[in-house]
Structure formats: structure tokens, C-alpha cells
């Protein structure tokens, strides 16, 4: 809609833009200090496509500058893309040439130029610069093209986010989230937001963050929205939530954050086979969307799109028992009944080009709400989806216990306070149905798709055991 209306916008120019279009006089540029252009009059780089030969003004930040003989080059980032600006004697205003020395990395600018074709850029265009105005200076920007240590970069996360690879990563993250939502909405889901302050333990009683809650004692930061989604399915059948999730796990691994974003879905009348089929379709759709919309950003990350194209084939499925046999054959000394750690997950998927489900885990390593397998009551109807290339678990899901009495027995067995689960048990009293759901860790999914191994880079502001700032 926005792009389609661009030609019309040419007839609705604000006064600032009129001046830019018809005059490159420096005096006029000075007049443009302040926000003279309304948001819907401003041009974005992406909207310059198809406007070769036209003069336009963009606002953004200087990503790099370069000189080559009499020509000057600038990289300008405006959120919609990055474009190369070129200054040429005789074409570019003298004043702009003089300003070049002050155009430091990350200063903010307003630039007017003529759109030209170019081979290199994302949208195959560049800007022949006419005039430049510095809006905000940037001297001695702390992140330079040289190598910096990870601690330094994380301490400067508020600035590091502007770097080329980080920009690419978060453009892809946003597209991934959009694709997940598109897929769910297409399949008749609605979003039902779940609370962050809770009384009930969702996953692991040992991994809870507590906060003082008036005179009611301790409230916990949610580890999952699942139990609330289960309440919502009787109203809407298919629901999802997407929000921050908290785990006070003392894990310093490349896969653990203390605060991460989880997309959780819950579906009435789905058994765990439906659940796995649905997850597989979702992941394939997301990968396809990334391939269709983010090729340029994958390139910036040096992520080979052919690796992702292979994901479009059927996923592997191992029962937990098959996985144990497979691991033993590969030399692991894991025993039946133990949980799979990162090492085992890597062994299972390192030679695979597609993700793999492991289903029907032993009851003792999984959460209380999972439905027991009638054929083998030592196990529960659940599955973890493991990404290939050793990335490990990206989704955890299960069929839920739908019998009131069995669920109550499990809550007691796990020594959870029954009074906090009365409402959850009610769901099995009034119209209980077979139902399943899953939780997808967004940072792990983004990490795998982008080929970035550590989740501290795939969330804008990571919260780790030893990091709460910036």
C-alpha cells in the first residue's frame, strides 16, 4: 500500500521536499533543520526502486565512507535498506564535498540525490548525491570495522545493533515472526496473550524467578503461557501467544537465555502426530518465507541459502527409544531414561540436512502435563524438534493429559501445590478434549536459520546469568 501510493506522493510534497527537488542551493538546505517532512512524505530507500532519474531525499545514518580518486562513496542506512551514495565533481554540490570529511560513521544525515541503477545493492539502485545535511554528529563511534571481543560488543549492544550483520539478523528475525503469525492466522488461530505474573509452575519448579507480590507472597515470572492457552482453546479451538518467557536456569550455554521469546500454539482435537505434522508445515513455511524475502540479508550473514532450501523436504522422526539406539551405535553412553543433552542432540542431527523430531520421551524427564502413552506408560506423548547442523532443540511440544484424575495424580506426584492448579483441572471437568500444543524458541530458530550459533546475538538485548545491561 505504502509503495503503491508513492507516485501520488509526488503531488503532495511538503515544502521541504519541494525545495530539495527543484533546488540544490545550500541556503535552502539549512532551512531544513528540524523535522520538516511528515512521515508519510519522506522517501525510504526501498521506495526509490523504479524511480531512476528522479531526485529524492532520504534520511538515515552513515554506515561507511570511502574515497577513490575524485569520487566519494557513502553507505546510507535508513531502516528500509542500505544504499550507496556517490559524490562526483560537477554533479554534487561543492558544499557537500566539503562536508565529506565530517561524515563520520553513524552520523545522521539528510541526503538528496538522483536515483541511478547500480549492480551491487539490495535493490540495484544508488544515489548520485546532490546535497548533504548532517543532522546529528558522531565522533569516535566505538564500534569500528576492526574485530571487537564479544564482551565489548555486548556491553555496547545499544550501538552494536546498527552493524551490518546485526541489521541483517534482526530484519530476518522480524520476517520469521511475521511468517509464523501469517501461518497461524491462515489456519484459523487467534492470539490470546498470557500473563507474565503467575502462581502456577509451568515447566520446572527449579527454574523460577520470584517477585514480591503485595501481601500475597511470591509471584513467578512465567516460564510458559501454555496452561492459559489450554484454557483458551475451549473458547477458540486454535490459539497462540507470543511473549517473553523467563527461566532462572543456571546454564551458561550457547542455547540458554534467562529471558527469551516463545511462540506457543495450542490446538483442540490435535493428537501428537497432528502436532508434529503441523510444526513441520510451520517450519517449512517460515524457511520458505525467509528464502523469498530475505536473500540479501542471508548474504550479509554469509548464510548459504542452499542449506535452507534442503529444509523444504520431509523431516526425520525418531522415537526416543530409536534415538537411544542410534546414539549408542554412534558411541554415546547414554542410557534409556536419561534426557538428551546438547551433545546427544548434535550427534542425532549433525549428518542430517533436515530437522528431526524425537518423540515419546520417558515421563521422568518431561513436564507433569504431558499425556501418558497407553502402549508404554513409561513414556509420554511429546516431541522435541531438533534443528540440523547441531543447532539442537528449537521446539518442545506434547499432547496434554486430558483426564482430570490422571492429571491430578501427576500434579500430586510432582508435589506441586494442588490449590494453584484447581482452575487448570477445571478444564478437564467441562468439555475436555484431546489437545496438543508446542512452544517455539524464537532466538533458537533465528540462530539456526541465520547460522548464528549463540542465542545472545539473536535477541536484541540479551539477558544472561551475568548480563542485565544495556
Q: Site for ligand 4AD (CB under 6 A): which residue of 41, 288, 393, 402?
A: 393
Considering beta carbons, is residue 125 or 446 the nearer one to Mg ion? 446
The total of other beta-carbon atoms located within 10 Å of residue 225's CB is 28
Regarding 441 and contact with ligand 4AD (CB under 6 A), the answer is: yes
Q: Site for ligand 4AD (CB under 6 A): which residue of 126, 203, 372, 457?
A: 203
Phi and psi of 57, rounded to 5°? -120, 135
443 binds, among Mg ion, ligand 4AD, none (CB under 5 to 8 A by kind): ligand 4AD
Helix, strand or coil, per DSSP, at residue 436: strand
456 binds, among Mg ion, ligand 4AD, none (CB under 5 to 8 A by kind): none
* Nearest approach, Cβ of residue 355 and Mg ion (Å): 14
- Of 45-64, binders to Mg ion (CB under 5 A) are none
Spell out a b/e string for 320-355, using b for 16 or more CB atoms within 10 Å of the CB, else e.
Answer: bbebbebbeeeebebeeeeebebebbebbbeebebb
Regarding 444 and contact with ligand 4AD (CB under 6 A), the answer is: yes
Q: Site for ligand 4AD (CB under 6 A): which residue of 41, 193, 249, 288?
A: 249
202 binds, among Mg ion, ligand 4AD, none (CB under 5 to 8 A by kind): ligand 4AD
CB 317 within 8 A of CB 276: yes
Across 382-428, where does the E strand assignment appear?
Answer: 382-387, 392-399
394 binds, among Mg ion, ligand 4AD, none (CB under 5 to 8 A by kind): ligand 4AD
Regarding 392 and contact with Mg ion (CB under 5 A), the answer is: no
The CA distance from 205 to 60, in Å, is: 47
Considering beta carbons, is residue 35 or 253 the nearer one to ligand 4AD? 253
Helix, strand or coil, per DSSP, at residue 114: strand
The CA distance from 386 to 384, in Å, is: 6
Q: Site for ligand 4AD (CB under 6 A): which residue of 394, 407, 427, 450?
A: 394
| Interface region with ligand 4AD, contact rule CB under 6 A, candidates 40-48, 90-98, 148-156, 260-268 | 260-268
| Interface region with ligand 4AD, contact rule CB under 6 A, candidates 40-48, 99-107, 214-222, 252-260 | 252-260
| Interface region with ligand 4AD, contact rule CB under 6 A, candidates 58-66, 165-173, 290-298, 394-402 | 394-402
Q: How far apart are the first and last CA of the chain?
A: 36
Displacement of CA 146 from its chain's centroid (Å): 26
Give just the sign of the alpha carbon dihedral 53, 54, 60, 61: positive
* Nearest approach, Cβ of residue 339 and Mg ion (Å): 9
Q: Determine whether 120 is exposed, middle or buried from the number of CB atoms within 10 Å of its CB (0-12, 13-18, 19+).
A: exposed
Q: Site for ligand 4AD (CB under 6 A): which residue of 62, 167, 222, 262?
A: 262
* Binding track over 393-422 against Mg ion, x by CB under 5 A: ---x--------------------------
The CA distance from 55 to 20, in Å, is: 8
* Nearest approach, Cβ of residue 130 and ligand 4AD (Å): 48
* Binding track over 401-440 against ligand 4AD, x by CB under 6 A: ------------------------------------xxx-
Q: DSSP states of 45-56 as a string? A: GGGGTT-TT-EE
Sequence-distant contacts of 216-222: CB under 8 A, at least 24 apart: 221/196, 221/197, 221/246, 222/194, 222/195, 222/196, 222/197, 222/198, 222/246
260 binds, among Mg ion, ligand 4AD, none (CB under 5 to 8 A by kind): ligand 4AD
CB 192 within 8 A of CB 240: yes
Regarding 396 and contact with ligand 4AD (CB under 6 A), the answer is: yes
Q: What is the largest CA-CA distance in the chain?
A: 84
256 binds, among ligand 4AD, Mg ion, none (CB under 5 to 8 A by kind): ligand 4AD
Q: How many alpha carbons fall within 13 Å on the CB side of residue 283?
A: 34
Considering beta carbons, is residue 44 or 260 the nearer one to ligand 4AD? 260
Regarding 202 and contact with ligand 4AD (CB under 6 A), the answer is: yes
Considering beta carbons, is residue 58 or 395 the nearer one to ligand 4AD? 395
Strand partners, 75: 64, 84
Helix, strand or coil, per DSSP, at residue 284: helix
Which residues in this chain contact Mg ion in the complex, by CB under 5 A? 396
Which residues in this chain contact ligand 4AD in the complex, by CB under 6 A? 202-203, 224, 226, 247, 249, 256-257, 260, 262, 264, 393-398, 437-439, 441, 443-444, 455
Amino acid at each position: 500500500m505504502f509503495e503503491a501510493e508513492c507516485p501520488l506522493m509526488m503531488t503532495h510534497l511538503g515544502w521541504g521536499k519541494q525545495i530539495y527537488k527543484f533546488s540544490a542551493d545550500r541556503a535552502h538546505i539549512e532551512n531544513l533543520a528540524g523535522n520538516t517532512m511528515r512521515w508519510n512524505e519522506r522517501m525510504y530507500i526501498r521506495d526509490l526502486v523504479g524511480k531512476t532519474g528522479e531526485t529524492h531525499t532520504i534520511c538515515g545514518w552513515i554506515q561507511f565512507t570511502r574515497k577513490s580518486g575524485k569520487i566519494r562513496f557513502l553507505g546510507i542506512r535508513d531502516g528500509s535498506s542500505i544504499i550507496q551514495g556517490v559524490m562526483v565533481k560537477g554533479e554534487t554540490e561543492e558544499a557537500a564535498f566539503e562536508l565529506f570529511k565530517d561524515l563520520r560513521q553513524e552520523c545522521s544525515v539528510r541526503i538528496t540525490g538522483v536515483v541511478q541503477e547500480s549492480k551491487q545493492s539490495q535493490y540495484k539502485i544508488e544515489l548520485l548525491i546532490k546535497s548533504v545535511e548532517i543532522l546529528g554528529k558522531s565522533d569516535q563511534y566505538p564500534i569500528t570495522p576492526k574485530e571487537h571481543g564479544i564482551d565489548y560488543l555486548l556491553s555496547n549492544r545499544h550501538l552494536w545493533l546498527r552493524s551490518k550483520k546485526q541489521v541483517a539478523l534482526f530484519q530476518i528475525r522480524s520476517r520469521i515472526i511475521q511468517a509464523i503469525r501469517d501461518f497461524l492466522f491462515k489456519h484459523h488461530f487467534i492470539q490470546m496473550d498470557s500473563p507474565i505474573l503467575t502462581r502456577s509452575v509451568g515447566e520446572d519448579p527449579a527454574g523460577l524467578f520470584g517477585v514480591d507480590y503485595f501481601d500475597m507472597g511470591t509471584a513467578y515470572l512465567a516460564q510458559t503461557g501454555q496452561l492459559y492457552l489450554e484454557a483458551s482453546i475451549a473458547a477458540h479451538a486454535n490459539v497462540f501467544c507470543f511473549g517473553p518467557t523467563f527461566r532462572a536456569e543456571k546454564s551458561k550455554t550457547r542455547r540458554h537465555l534467562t529471558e527469551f521469546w516463545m511462540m506457543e500454539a495450542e490446538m483442540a482435537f490435535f493428537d501428537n502426530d497432528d502436532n508434529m505434522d503441523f510444526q513441520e508445515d510451520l517450519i517449512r513455511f517460515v524457511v520458505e518465507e525467509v528464502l523469498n524475502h530475505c536473500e540479501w540479508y542471508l548474504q550479509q550473514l554469509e548464510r548459504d541459502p542452499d542449506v535452507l532450501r534442503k529444509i523444504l523436504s520431509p523431516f526425520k522422526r525418531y522415537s526416543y527409544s530409536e534415538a537411544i539406539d542410534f546414539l549408542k551405535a554412534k558411541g554415546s553412553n547414554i542410557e534409556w531414561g536419561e534426557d538428551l543433552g546438547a551433545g546427544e542432540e548434535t550427534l542425532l542431527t549433525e549428518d542430517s540436512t533436515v530437522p528431526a523430531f524425537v518423540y515419546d520421551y520417558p515421563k521422568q524427564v518431561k513436564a507433569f502435563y504431558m499425556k501418558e502413552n497407553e502402549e508404554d506408560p513409561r513414556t509420554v506423548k511429546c516431541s522435541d524438534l531438533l534443528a540440523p547442523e547441531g543447532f539442537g532443540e528449537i521446539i518442545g511440544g506434547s499432547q496434554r493429559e486430558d483426564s482430570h484424575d490422571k492429571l491430578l495424580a501427576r500434579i500430586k506426584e510432582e508435589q506441586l501445590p494442588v490449590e494453584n492448579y484447581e482452575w487448570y483441572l477445571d478444564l478437564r471437568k467441562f468439555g475436555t478434549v484431546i489437545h496438543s500444543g508446542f512452544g517455539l524458541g524464537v532466538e533458537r530458530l533465528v540462530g539456526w536459520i541465520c547460522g548464528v550459533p549463540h542465542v545472545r546475538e539473536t535477541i536484541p538485548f540479551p539477558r544472561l546469568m551475568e548480563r542485565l545491561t544495556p
